[in-house]
Structures are given as structure tokens and as C-alpha cells.
Structure 1
Amino acid sequence: MELNVIGAKPLAVSEAVFGKEFREDLVHQVVVAYRNAGRAGTKAQLSRSDVSGTTKKFKKQKGGGARHGDYRAPIFVGGGVTFAARPRSFAQKVNRKMFRGALASILSELNRQGRLKVVESFGIEQPKTRDLVAKLAGYEATGRTVLVAENAPGALYLAARNIPYVHVVDVAGLDPVSLVGAKQVLLTVDSVKKIEEWLA
């Protein structure tokens, strides 16, 4: 199959990477796992056994109404939490084949929806925001946009950092969450070739 390149001849690409059937279940699983991997999981609360204070029974068992043991019980102010949260990992195992398959599925769906565009290069030599804004306007890229470049120059990062909803990533930094949330994804020809080597 071929991808149209803005201002140049079409680029032949692999059907397995840019023409793959969309697997919603796989994409969902990989996106959830990727987001969970970013969670700190450091939440911690004090249970009844962790709260400082005496364990002495403060009243007699009978004749005083409710039966209580000590003031560290969850029903008292300053007492422990009934089911206290503990630090834990939210990581989910996703093997390499699943991750690559999900990325190929997302890229294929973006291509089918016309949200994937290929350019020769972004041509940003100086870190000028106005130059990149003009380029994006020429590409008709609006909304949340991801720019993917192989060995992206520092000038491109600097030019894009002050534009709302424009994100520059290297091919090695591609992630499913950014791709799924993007309205437009712009790739350079070099990045397309690198993605093919990676995912094919």
C-alpha cells in the first residue's frame, strides 16, 4: 500500500503496519496498561494497628451502652481506617508483541480516518514558534497534534513547546496514549521507515 506524502510522491509502506485491522480490545488493554504504569501507587493510610495510642479498654464491658475495646477503633475520630490503603504497583504485563500490534492497529486506524499525514521533513532549522505555526497551518493540522520525527532536532522541540496541544516525539518515544488522543499525527518520511522497521 501507499501513503500520500504532502508535496512529494507517494510512499510505499507495509500493509501489516499501516493497513492492519483495528483491534479495539487490544488497543484498550495496552492503553490501560500504559496509563497504569505511570501511577505512583504510593497511597498509604493508617489501619487500626498502625495508629499510635493505648490499647487499654477505656470502659467496662457491660452497663455502659455500646461495647468498646480502645479508642483506635475506626468508629472514633483519630482511629484507624477500616480497609487502609497500602502502597502497591498498578503495573500490568503487556508483552512486546501486544504492544507493537496495538501501535500498528492505532496507526492503521488513524490512516483510515485521514488523521495520519506524512511530510518530507518539518524543515525547522531555527527554534522559531511562528515558523512552526505557519508550517502546521499549511498542513491543515489543528487541535491536538503529534509530530513524529526520527532524530528530531532540538530546534523543533523548542519551536513546539509554546504551542498548545502540539507534542513532538521521537520514534522511540511513541506511545499509544498520545496517538489515541491526537486529532492529527504528522510523520516524516524517515520516521515512517523507522516505524516500519520497528513494527513489521
Structure 2
Amino acid sequence: MELNINGSASTLSVSDAVFGREFSQDLVHQVVVAYRNAGRAGTKAQKTRSEVNGTTKKSKKQKGGGARHGALTAPIFVGGGVTFAAKPRSFAQKVNRKMYRAAIAAILSELNRQGRMMVVEGFELDSPKTTGMIAKLKDLNVGRRPLIVTEDATENVFLSARNLPYVQVRDVQGLDPVALVGADTVVITSDAVKKIEEWLA
């Protein structure tokens, strides 16, 4: 298939398997959830009644005092332990490499079908200036949440977008499904397209 290059009469020939793949909502959802879960710390910790600081001596006599209670470290008392205490855990989900690459290809294909992927010859800035990035994005007429994908994100491009909310810059190696799904428009250079095609083919 052919991809139109913005601002140029020429086109870029790409593989249908990467940019013309059928969209699988279940696969993309699974990969996105797994990617986000991998970033969770999982360090939440609470104390059980045996771990909380306090005496385990019976707080009152068994009979004659109303309700029968034991130690004040029981969960029903203020300052007591937690009934089902949370412990440090891992939220990681296993995703095969083949599934991950297929999900990336499905997302890129759907972005292309929806007209949310824009291919440009190059994306360079002379200096790390936020105003230069704003002017460049205005010329391209992208949405509020653009994602800029280059073969190797240069320092000028990265620093120029750093102070702009909702503007993300990625190189091909740092491309992830969450950034692709959350972007209004994906601005991708022709060199990055070829590198992605080599990666996912």
C-alpha cells in the first residue's frame, strides 16, 4: 500500500501487514492494559492484627462486660490491624513478543484508516525553542494531543516539546501502545516508517 507524504507529491510504499492490518480490539486492549500494569509500583502495604504494634493481652474480662473482646489489635478497633491487608505485589502480565508487535501494527493500521497518522519527510528544529515547536505543529494542523515519532528523537525536538502539555515525542525504540492510542494525531517521519516496518515485519 501507499502512504501519502504531507507537503509532497510523492508517496511511500509500505507493507500491508504493518499498516493495513485488521484491527483487533481485544488484542489491543490486552496489550494496553498489560503495558500500563507493568508501570504500577505494587508497593502498597498494610499491617495485619499480628503485625500492628500493640499488646495481645485480653482487653477485658470474658463475662460481665457486654461484648466479648480479646486483644485491641483486632480489626474492629481503631488502631488495630487490617482484615485483608494489602501486601507488595507485581501487577505484570505476560504478553508475547508476537502479540505486542501485532497490537502495535493494528493500532498503526487503524490510525491510518481514520486519517490520524501523518507522514512527513522530516521533523527537525534548528534550536530547542518551544515557540518553534508550536509554529511547526500549527503548520501541520494537528490536534490537541499530537505524538511525534522520529527515527532518532533529536535533543532539539525533545526539549522544544518538553514544556508543551499533551505533546509527546518518541523515537521508534521508545514507541508504546499507550502513547499511540492516546494521541489525536501521530506525526511520523518517513525514516521512522521504514524503521517501524523493519521492526514489525
Amino acid paired to 1:14: S
TM-score, structure 1 length as denominator?
0.97
Cα distance in 2 for residues equivalent to 1:131 and 1:78? 57
Q: Secondary structure at the match of 2:36?
A: helix
Count of residue correspondences: 200
Answer with 174-183 or 157-166: which moved more.
Answer: 157-166
Partner of 1:56: 57
Note if 1:74 corresponds to 2:64.
Answer: no
Measured after TM superposition, the shift of residue 130 of structure 1 is 2.0
What is the deviation of 1:86? Answer: 0.4
Q: Which residue of 2 aligns with 1:7?
A: 7
Q: What's the CA shift for 1:160?
A: 1.2
Q: What is the percent sequence identity of the aligned residues?
A: 69
Q: Which residue of 2 aligns with 1:100?
A: 101
SS of structure 2 residue aligned to 1:106 = helix
With normalisation by structure 2, the TM-score equals 0.97
Cα deviation code 1:83-126 (max 9, x no counterpart)? 11101000000110011010000000000000000000013121
Structure 2: tracts of 5 or more residues without a match: none
CA RMSD of aligned residues (A): 0.9
- The code of the aligned residue for 1:192 comes to V
Q: Secondary structure at the match of 1:168?
A: strand
CA-CA distance at 1:133 after TM superposition: 1.6
- Name the structure 1 match of 2:140: 139
Letter in 1 for 2:46: Q
How far is the alpha carbon of 1:142 from its aligned partner?
2.1
Output one character per residue of 1:162-197: Cα deviation in whole Å (capped at 9) or x when no partner: 222111111000010010010000000000000000
Give, in whole Å, the separation in 2 of the partners of 1:126 and 1:120: 19
Gaps of 5+ in 1: none
Give the AA of the match of 1:2.
Answer: E
Q: Distance in 1 between matches of 2:79 and 2:153?
A: 55
DSSP-derived class of the 1:104 partner: helix
